[in-house]
Every structure is written in C-alpha cells, then in structure tokens.
A and B are shown apart, each in its own frame.
Chain A
Amino acid sequence: SFMKVHPPGSSANDKALCILTDSREISSGPEVISCLKNVHGVKVQVCSLGGCDYIVSNRMAVERKIQSEFSNSANRSRLIERIQHLQNLFERVCLVVEKDRVKPGETSKIFQRTKYYDSTLSALISAGIRILFSSSQEESAGLLKELALLEQRKKSGIIIPTEVKGYKQEALQFYLTIPNINYLTALNLCHRFESVKQMVNSSVDVIANLAQVNPQKAEEIFRYLHYVFESQMLPSNNNVKRKQ
C-alpha cells in the first residue's frame, strides 16, 4: 500500500484551492497574498521555495514581475536565469507582468514600450512561457486563483497536505536535493510514499504516478537514485583525470 492519500484528482473538489508561495512574496506582494486568502478563499501556504514565486499545481509555477523591472534591460540576465531555472523544475511556467504601484498623490507614469520589451515578450512566447498582464496586486491574485482552478480542472491541482511534520521534514529536505525537482514534487514524494526506502526502490512508472511528474522527469529521478557515485568526479578532485 503505497498510497496514503487519495489518488490524484479524486478529492479535488472537497478541498479548498491551495497555492504555495515563497516567503519573499510576503514583503513584495502582501496584497496578492491577503487577496488570495480573504477575497478568493484560497489556502496560501508560505514556504521557502527558493527561486519560485508561486506554485499553483503539480506542474505549474508562476513568476510575478513588476512591469518596470520586467522591461528594464539591465535585468535581462537575471530574468533569463530565473526563467531557465523554472523551466528546469516545472512543466509549465507562467509569467505575470504587473503594473507598478502608484503611491497616493503620484500620477502613474506612462509606460514606454521599448525594443527590449517587445523582443523579450517574443522570445518568452516562443519558449512556451504563458504571459499574463495585471494592473494590480489584487488582479494578480485573481489570475493566480484562475490558474489554480484551471489546473485543478485538468487534474493537476494541489491536493496533498502542504504542511510537513515529524520525520517527514527530514525526508522533504532529502528529496529537495534531487536535481531539478520542485517543492511540490518533493512534497508528493513525502506524502505518497510510506518510507524513503520505498521511494528509492520504486520503478519509473510508480515514481511518475505518485510524484505526479511526466515519464521523462520520473526517469531522471530514477537514474539519479541509481547513479553510481565516484568520488574522483567531485570538483575538488579535479586533478584526477577521468578515464575515457
């Protein structure tokens, strides 16, 4: 009996919508979070997601960017790094471009569209990144809710407990070190396998099913667990030449 919770999708409707958010969003998007909770009745779990603003489903991350920051070419490399990071971890990546806040007494600045802005949007769309435009934190909250709902309808909603207690905290930290695995996949491994040993001994199919990842990702995880470690390959031992 691997399953400790309902099979994916079966109990999606009797649970509140759930979204994970990075702890840094508490300071950068306080109204997004309070709006999700108070207006939309979404359960918001604040975690340390390390390089990801929101997780709305088993496979989708949402990155929230303020328009002035997004359209400033000085931030190009940071944006590329961040999006690549998310592409590594998630099947689907969505970017919300949010209008800058206007402080009381200030008039909103007219947004100057640049070549950089247009070419960045073009490249993102080509890469399959979904882009949404928002005029405020409140509107961004609404978009996050809609995305979570959509993913729930597609049987990818977050239905496992997002809190981790006891020894499972240790297991979670262990799973999080698996390369290219996102926080939610690690949570799935934590909650859906009875023990770490059982997880480590699972087939690709079982991993795909219980971790809620695609077959390629499941195979990547499987290979990692069976990879034969050679200490000469560690960077500190670089002077040792690799045998061909």
Chain B
Amino acid sequence: MATNESTPIRAGASSVPYGHVIGSDKWRGTELAQLLQGKVKLVFEDGLGLVDFHLPKRTCILYISESDLVSGSAFKRRLVRFRKACNLSSIVIVEKTRLSDQYFPPVQNFVVLELGMSLLPVTNQSEAAQLIFHLVQERSKEGNSNPFILKKRSQLSEPSILQTVQKIPGVGKVKAQQLLLYFPSINQLANASVTELETAVGRGIASQVHSFFRQTQ
C-alpha cells in the first residue's frame, strides 16, 4: 500500500533482543526514560512512527498521556492508523489520573473492544516505567514459564467416562462398569440394542439406558 505519509512503523523494529527496549527519540530525557534506563537496555531511535516503545517478542507500546486524553481524539486516529498498518501485538498504556478518569471508560471500550488491543492504565510515568519493565521481563523469559499459558497434558479418559456413563438415569458406579465391560466406548454403548444391553445389566436398566440415548422431544 503506497502512502505519502511517513511510515507508521519502523521496519525491522519487530525483532528486539531480550531485555532491550527501543524507545522513540521523543522520550529522551523524560522521567519514564530515566527510570527505565537503569532496569533495561533502552536504545533511542528516531522514525518509530506511531510507536513509543518496541519490546521483545514483537510487542509495541503506544502511550496515551493525560493531556492526549483530555485534549480530544487525535490519539484515536493514531491508534487506528497503527491497527491498519501492522499486526504486531500492541499494548496501549494510558495515564488514568484524577483529571483524565472520566475519559477512561469510553477509551477502554474503543481500544479493547473495538480495536482489540490491550489497554493498561497507569497514574504517572513512574508507574509506566515499572509496568514496562515487567512487560519486558515477561517477554524475555525463556521457555514456558508463564503460568497462564496452558500446557497440554494428557489426561486419562477412564475416570471421566465412568462419570459420564453414571449420568444415565438408573446407572450407578457398579452398573456403569458392567456396561463398559461389554460396550467399552460411549459410542458403542449408545448404539447397543436392548437385547445386547440385557447381557450386561438387568432388563429394567437396559431399557432405561436404551431410551436415554434415543429420547427426543
């Protein structure tokens, strides 16, 4: 897509080494940059376009200050342009202060629900520095140490199947095991005829099981 405006995203900034942050030149000398500098390797670059900070693992930070929020909707256009320009995962950090508090709910709806980006409120630059530090830490971890990322573990199905079969009216634990001895899968059990079921359990239960699977409304 050809555009005569400056590039919204700096090419190549998608790969940032672990423990590093690439910050837009405009943040040089700010409180946020000073606080961050001692904790991560912060490199300034110009021409980052719409992005304030690039973090490892293709993560971008877009920062909305208190005055951005209060002074109108220019920041919205910036977010929309970013969203259209790239598919890097992005976190919007917003200064939610006593002054800007009232603007927060609609901004949250816009950023999270409409644009599908993550939004994290801070009250000042010092909190933002702390938060960015943790975001970098999280993105610099090796392996799968994030407890919220699901690790697929194979579970035995037997205990669940026994539970499932016991939900058929009239079937307790003993009858469930008897049924599964003859019809070892739920599919086979569902397709068994009354006569076949009678070989495993008594006539009454056989017909209850049979009709449970076939009942319609």
Binding site for B on A (CB under 8 A): 80, 83-84, 87-88, 113, 115, 118-119, 121-127, 129-133, 135, 139, 142, 146-147, 150, 166-168, 170-171, 173-174, 176-179, 194-197, 200-201, 224-231, 233-235
Known contacts A122-B134, A227-B185, A127 near B149 by CB under 8 Å: yes
B78 interface contact, C-beta 8 A: no
CA distance A224 to B165 in the complex (A): 12
Do B215 and A84 have beta carbons less than 8 Å apart? Answer: no
- Asked whether B12 is an interface residue with its Cβ less than 8 Å from the other chain, the reply is no
B214 interfacial by beta-carbon distance below 8 Å:
yes
Asked whether B138 lies within 8 Å of A225 as measured between CB atoms, the reply is no
Contacting residues, chain A, for B177 (C-beta < 8 A): 231
User: Counting CB contacts under 8 A, is B3 at the interface?
Assistant: no
Give me the interface of B with A, judged by CB distance under 8 Å: 91, 104-105, 108-109, 112-113, 118-121, 127, 130-131, 133-135, 137-139, 146-150, 155-164, 167-169, 177, 180-181, 184-187, 190-191, 212-217
Q: Which residues of chain A come closer than 8 Å to B130, judged between CB atoms?
A: 113, 115, 118
How far is it, in angstroms, between the C-alpha of A240 and the C-alpha of B59 when the chains are bound? 50
Is B164 touching A88 in the complex (CB atoms < 8 A)? no
- Residues in A whose Cβ lies below 8 Å from that of B118: 125, 130-131
What chain B residues lie within 8 Å of A177 (beta carbons)? 160, 163-164, 167
Q: Which residues of B contact A196 (CB under 8 A)?
A: 190, 212-215
Q: Please classify the interface of chain B as helix (H, G, I), strand (E, B), loop, or mixed, using the class held by over half of its residues.
A: helix
Are A224 and B167 also in contact (CB < 8 A) when A121-B120, A167-B217, A196-B213 are? no
B147 contacts across to A, CB distance below 8 A? 80, 84, 123
- State the Cβ distance, B1 to closest chain A Cβ, in Å: 26
- Closest residue of A by beta carbon distance from B177: A231
A235 and B159 within 8 A (CB): yes
Docked-complex contact A201 and B187, CB < 8 angstroms = yes
Shortest B155–chain A CB gap in Å is 7
> Given contacts A118-B133, A123-B138, A234-B158, could you give 10 more A-B pairs where the C-beta distance is less than 8 Å?
A80-B147, A84-B147, A123-B146, A126-B148, A129-B148, A131-B118, A139-B105, A174-B167, A177-B163, A194-B216
- Lowest 3 CB-CB distances: which A-B pairs, in order? A127-B148, A122-B138, A197-B213
Name B185's contact: one of A88, A113, A118, A225 (CB within 8 Å). Answer: A225
Are A119 and B167 in contact, with the CB atoms below 8 A? no
Interchain residue pairs with CB less than 8 A apart (27): A83-B148, A84-B147, A88-B150, A118-B130, A118-B134, A119-B134, A121-B120, A123-B146, A123-B147, A123-B148, A127-B146, A132-B112, A133-B121, A135-B105, A170-B167, A177-B164, A178-B164, A179-B157, A194-B216, A195-B216, A196-B214, A200-B187, A227-B161, A227-B186, A229-B185, A231-B158, A234-B162
Contact B134 A179 (CB under 8 A): no
B109 touches A146 (CB 8 A): yes
A197 to chain B: closest residue by CB: B213
Contact A224:B213 (CB < 8 A) given known A119-B134, A123-B147, A174-B164? no
**Which residues of A lie under 8 Å from residue B186 when comparing CB positions?**
200, 224-227
User: How far is A47 from B138 in the complex, measured between Cα atoms in Å?
Assistant: 37
Pick from A126, A135, A146: contact of B149, CB under 8 Å: A126
B15 CB, min distance to chain A CBs, angstroms: 17
